[in-house]
Structure formats: structure tokens, C-alpha cells
Structure 1
Amino acid sequence: MENKKLLRAKPYEMGVDPKAILNFINVLEEKQLSIHSFMLMRHNKVVAEGWWKPFKPEYNHELYSLSKSFTSIAIGFAVQEGLLTVEDYVVSYFKDKLPCQPCENMKKMKIKHLLNMCTGHSVEPDIMKEGQDWVYLFLTSYVDCEPGSIFVYNTPATYMLSAILQKITGITLYDYLQPRLFEPLGISNVWWELCPKGISTGGFGLNAKTEDVAKFGTFLLNNGVWEGKQLLNSEWIKKASSKVIESLSNPETADQWPKDWIQGYGYQFWRCQPEGVYRADGAFGQFCIVMPNQDAILAMQSGEEDTQTILSCVWDILLPAMKDDISKDTVPEDKESQMALEEKLSSLIYKAPAGEATSPIADKVSRREYEVSENPIKLTKIIFDFADTNKVTMTLGNESYTAEIGYQKWIDNQAGLNKEDKKVFLQYNDISCAGAWIKEDTFRFETLFTRIPTKEIFEIRFHEKGISMSFESKNNFSAIKCNMMGW
């Protein structure tokens, strides 16, 4: 497949102030927001893009729930082709899966209820279990409210959209999108996780590059048109991106929610605070922000829990830098600001641990093997080598790997674990490490998983007869924090 790169332009040529982009980046860093990459587009051209080292443009990145918006577009294609309608009943596609009658509200559930997260479940059903049939578990879940009556965020509902599409077409959602979306847009070498029954997970699991997300945003901004061809009916995108349902079920709890999560929900898209703006949104700061009034797109990939602050920075800094009248806006060329922006973009780096390069005790503790106490990450042995370069060898279960640890820089490594598990290998194999001595007896190093948002932090204090160690895993759905001993 031809890799179609997006067109590039200087910010001022597209009516964007480069000083505002520079300020946006600086504020993100001042607030210590863990951004991995971004790509800003206006008038269908990229005006600024950056990757914080060690993250790279060619890396696929887990999109989490941003995947849901791709699923919505797939359903739009299926509607366009007459394969289904949003008024179809969910159970009508799975009569073979029902050994007994489903509950009454399950029988009332339609495809449109899956799309706008109003299935009638008061709590998201727990169906995503290893080795089990997720469709069967969904269909046999109890639906306690009338479908359409209440918004409850529901990733299994999006999975059911994928399952319905595969039931109709005989191919996965991923394969279905190949000739309709991915190939026309030049989105290649992406992948989508599968459930135990071989169905694309739908509500999560798409892994793609920042530019792929920007292409998707451009397709949305242009209402389904790509290179002059109408791929998808514009009415579907307008409906999917509009407020179909209130995303705040109880107005009395409004102050308990981030502002950009209570603006309404469409067909797998979130509405935003600024007028006309909507977004595809994945956990830990995976964003495809569409700004029709500004004729602009912002794609971001991150490893950050405070995602509302990221969005607030976009609204407060970037939006004012783009004039509302997109037919007449111009920004005078500012060569000095443009050079400063380009220099900043070329030198972005994820903040590495601060401290000293070495310690008086480094030679003494170097190359000593420590047996580690029982712990939730299954680390059994650890060895540090502080000779020429800092290295750590860790044994997890029956597998070991050695990683080089940079000082004031990130060094790429291969974990080499779980080669038989495609998902684990693709998402967890590429790591980058940096560390420093934060005290004479304490070494801290961090591991960034460069295909997902996860960061791991190890802090090791060396004693005369052993080590005490703290560990924290951040920016994932199974975050772990624990202490260990070694001897």
C-alpha cells in the first residue's frame, strides 16, 4: 500500500501564530504533562508536529478508546452499503447465541443504543474475560433500564458493533475498513486486537501512528471526503459527531466530572466545550480533536492521567491562535518565532530522572545478583552493572532481559519477553530507559514503553547486605505500586 504522507506548511501560511504553538508546548512541559507526540493541521496541511524522544513518528501507539470512533465509521460504511440500519435489534443477529430468552430490555436494544452508549445497562457489563465468548456474555447480561433512557459509558457495547459487523460480512472490522478507509487514506502497518473468538475488539485495541490519527481527523473534518472523493456519506459523520445524548445523566453531579466529559456524546464521539469542536478520545491522552470552525485538526498521543488539563491547554492557547474567518485569515511571517518553534520541535525530549551520573558505591554494588522477595510483577532476580554504562538485568518468571539505562537521555532497548503473544510482544517489547543516582545509596531508573502510555519507575536503595526497592507502574488499567526486598 502506498504510504500517503500529509502535506506540510509553515504555521503562518495557514493563519496560525507560531508563537502560540511554542507557548502551547512550553505550557505542556511546565505542567509536566506526559505528552508523547502531537500533530497540528490547518486547511488540510500539517503546520506543526513533534515527538518527545524516545517516541518516534514510525511507532504505532495504543489508541485505547479512540478506537471506538473508527468503529463508528465502520458502522457508517455498513449503513451506507445497506448491510444494516441503526434501528436493527441487537439480538436479531445472534439468535444462535441465545440458549434461552434474554431479558426484556435486551430484546429492545438497537444498534443505535450501542452507538450512543445508552444500552440501558446501569453498569458496564463485565464480559471481557480470557477464553470466553464475549458476545454470549453480553447477550446474557441483565439490562436494568430501558435502552435509550440513560448514558453509561460502555466499551462492551462498541465490541458488539464489531461483532455484528463481522456476523454480517464474515470478516473482521479491521479487514472491513482496509479497502474503505485505511487504504484510501494511506494508513498502513496498523493492527487491531482480537477477542478470544477472533473478533476485533472494537472499543479499544487499534494501534496506529500519530499521522494515521491526523489522517483520520482530516477525513472527519472534510465530512468523509478524501482527495476529492466522497468515501462516506457526510450525513453519517455529522450525526456521529453531534450531541445525540447527554453524557451527564445526573446534573447534580456536574462538578464531579471534567468539563469536556459532560458536553454530550454522539455515535462514539465526544462533544467538547468550544463551539463546534468534537473529539475521538482514548485513555491517558489519545486524542483526535476536530475543530470545524477553525478548519483544524489536532492529533495527540500521550501517557497522562490528567487529560482535562491537556484539553484546556488546547482551548486556551491554540484555539485563539486560529482566526474564526478561515477564508481571510493571515498571520504575518515571523521568522524569529518560526525558527524558535522549529528548534523546539527538533529537540523535544521526555524528562529523564534527575540526579548524578555515578556514586561512590557504584563499583561495590555492581554486578551483584539480588534475589527479590515475592511481588506482584513476578520479578525474581535483578543485577545492576555500573561499569562503563548503566545496565540492569531483570528476571521475570522464567525470562530475563538486559536493558541499558541512559543518563540524561533515553536509550532504546528490547525487552524480548512473551514472543509467542503477539499483543504483549508488540506493545511491551519496545522500551526506553533512563536513570540517575538520586542519593549516594539510591539509584532511580524509569522505563517507558514506547508503544503504549505505560511508564515504570524503579527506585533502589543499596544496603550493606541487600537492597530495598520500590516499584510503580503508571498510566495503565492495572497500575501497580509495591515495595520489595533483595538479598
Structure 2
Amino acid sequence: MTDDLLADFVRADGEQSLGTYGIHVHRQGRPPIEHRFRSDDRVNLYSVSKTFTAVAIGIAESEGRLTIEDRLVDHFPELRAADGFEKVTLRHLLTMTSGSGHLWFADRRVDAADLLHEFVAEPLVAEPGTRFAYTGSGFYALGRVIARVTGANVRDYLLPRLFRPLDLHNPAWHTCPLGFPFAESDLFLRTAELARFTRLILQSGEWEGKQLIPADFVSRMATDRVDMKEGDAHTDGYGLGIWLEPGGHLRMHGAYGQIALIDASRRAAITVTAHNDNETAQLTALHDLVLARLS
């Protein structure tokens, strides 16, 4: 259903060419509000996928398969790592502070025989933990860790633990030439499906009476934060696979306007899929015309 809450956002979408596909608003204890600009087809979530991979790490940690303080090289002793890379932990990968100079995203062709080998061999440009650098390489490596410690790739690992309980039926997740999901991007879901995952984070990992994600890990996603040298009005740091905003809001954010905002103080979550080249305008409209008006 659509109500007056979204009227100004819908108008702004047309006036500013925000390219929104759909918006879904969840408020605890109230019926959901949504508006469709087109059919609710599955779309590439781009970097929102990183949060799913982070959650997989949290679940695997709760099962005793790893800890986020593990060194990456301890899971792959066969790799020839660059000097200093032996200090890189899974926490560094989750917060994108590995110090690696390797820059890669899933829209780039993979020419290396093994992208993980290439990442680990890349010289460090900073001491691990001291420099935030946005890249997909670390999250791809985290996906490989899941495969190493569980025997299942990150998509298949999440199927019984997350996707099926949320009724996210058989989602596609594009893979590298070796068959491993990109993990940092290229998971495909509908707006309404992503909205269920967004609500799950709002609810500290609980869904219909079952704890799908450890509550303490959901909390640590926001509290294990790193500062950024360059931010914007809506960004106050980065946590474990999720953006942090002023006021304590959390944000999942993928290219071309895939955005999920979580406001624990209002017990509300806003989920959007889109395709636009002005994500700043879209994010501002979501904050000013939707989030700020929630009671």
C-alpha cells in the first residue's frame, strides 16, 4: 500500500529523475508502506551484498568455525602473501582496513588465475587497521574464507541459515571464474526481499521467533567502527560490512541507488532499489522526505 508518507518522495523521484524502482517502509507494529515505480524484479544489489557476506562471517563465528580476529593467511597457508599481509585479520577485511593496495570490484574482469592469490600477493600500502580504503577485494576474500571453513560457498552456506527462513527463494549470486560468489557484489533480490533482510538487521537478527544472526554480532556491526578521512553529511564511518550514519542510523548502500536505511530509535527501516547516477540526491530525498517524517 502507498500512503501520504511517500507522496513527496514519489514527486521528487519524478522531478529529480531518481530512477527508483521501488521503496518499502517498515515501522514496527504498523502495516508496511510501499510504492512501486515498476514491477518488483530481482536486481543487482551491488555493494549491499557486502552486508550479506559480513552476516555469513558472524553466523560462522557463532558456529565456532572462525573468529573475526583470525588472520586470513591462517585459513590459506598455501598462499604466498606480501610482506606484512600476515597481520591482516578478518576484522580488517570486514572494515576495509587491510592496508592492501589491491583495488577490485565485481564489474571488472578477473584475469588472474585466482583473484584471492592476486589480492594476498599485492603489496601493502598501509599498516593493517590504520587506513580505510573502499574495495571489493576483502569481501571476496571473506567469501573464500566461508568456503574454506564450511565446505560451502557463501551463497550455499546462507541458503538454510538466512535465505530460506526469510523466504528469499533461490537467489542468484554471480561468481568468479573459479565458481565462488563475488561476495562483495552481484547478489540479486527484489525490493521486498531486501526489505526482509533489512528488517532482520533492525530486529537484531531475530525473525519470527528464531535468531538467524547472533544479536551480539548485529550490535558489533555498528560498534566495531572505523573512521574515514572523507565522508559526507550522511556518513559517519564504517562498521562490519555496513555504513554508519550520524544519529546512529545504519545504511546498506549499493551502486546506482540500492539503499537500505535502519533507524533503531524509530524502530523503522527503509529499503529502495533503483538505477540512477545521482545517489546523493536520492539519499538526501530518503532522509528529508521519508526518514525525517517517520513518527
Q: Tell whether the structures are fold-level matches, with TM greater than 0.5.
A: yes
Counting aligned pairs with the same residue, the percent is 28
**Aligned in 2, Cα 1:171/1:195: closer, same or farther, shift over 3 Å?**
same
Q: What is the deviation of 1:125?
A: 5.5
Q: Which residue type is aligned with residue 35 of structure 1?
A: T
1:77-128 deviations in Å (ceiling 9; x for gaps)? 0000010011111111112233xxx223211101100000000125626895
Q: What is the deviation of 1:74?
A: 0.3
More relative contact order in 1 or in 2 (CA 8 Å, sep 6+)?
2
Q: Which residue type is aligned with residue 313 of structure 1?
A: A
Paired residues of 2:22 and 2:34 also in contact (CA < 8 A): yes
Paired residues of 2:45 and 2:258 also in contact (CA < 8 A): yes
**Aligned in 2, Cα 1:87/1:131: closer, same or farther, shift over 3 Å?**
closer
Which one of 262, 269, 272 corresponds to residue 290 of structure 1? Answer: 262
Q: Which residue type is aligned with residue 233 of structure 1?
A: P
- Whether 1:194 aligns to 2:175 is yes
Paired residues of 1:90 and 1:111 also in contact (CA < 8 A): yes
Paired residues of 1:130 and 1:196 also in contact (CA < 8 A): no
Q: Report matched runs for 1:39-438 at 5 Å.
A: 39-43=24-28, 46-53=31-38, 56-57=39-40, 59-98=41-80, 102-122=81-101, 124=103, 129-130=110-111, 132-242=113-223, 244-248=225-229, 254=230, 258-260=232-234, 262-273=235-246, 275-323=247-295
Give the whole-Å Cα distance in 2 for the aligned partners of 1:62 and 1:71: 15
Point out 4+ residue stretches in structure 1 off by more than 4 angstroms.
125-128
Instruction: Mark the runs of 5 or more structure 1 residues left unpaired by the alignment.
Output: 1-9, 12-17, 249-253, 324-487
Q: Which residue type is aligned with residue 84 of structure 2?
A: N
Deviates further, 144-153 or 89-98:
89-98
Give the whole-Å Cα distance in 1 for the aligned partners of 2:33 and 2:248: 22
TM-score by length of 1: 0.58
**Aligned in 2, Cα 1:47/1:232: closer, same or farther, shift over 3 Å?**
closer
Give the whole-Å Cα distance in 1 for the aligned partners of 2:152 and 2:29: 32
- Which residue is 1:429 aligned to? none
RMSD: 1.9
How many residues are treated as equivalent by the alignment? 293
TM-score by length of 2: 0.93
SS at match of 1:67: helix
More helix by share: 2
Instruction: Mark the runs of 5 or more structure 2 residues left unpaired by the alignment.
Output: none
Q: What is the deviation of 1:38?
A: 1.2
| Larger CA Rg, structure 1 vs 2 | 1
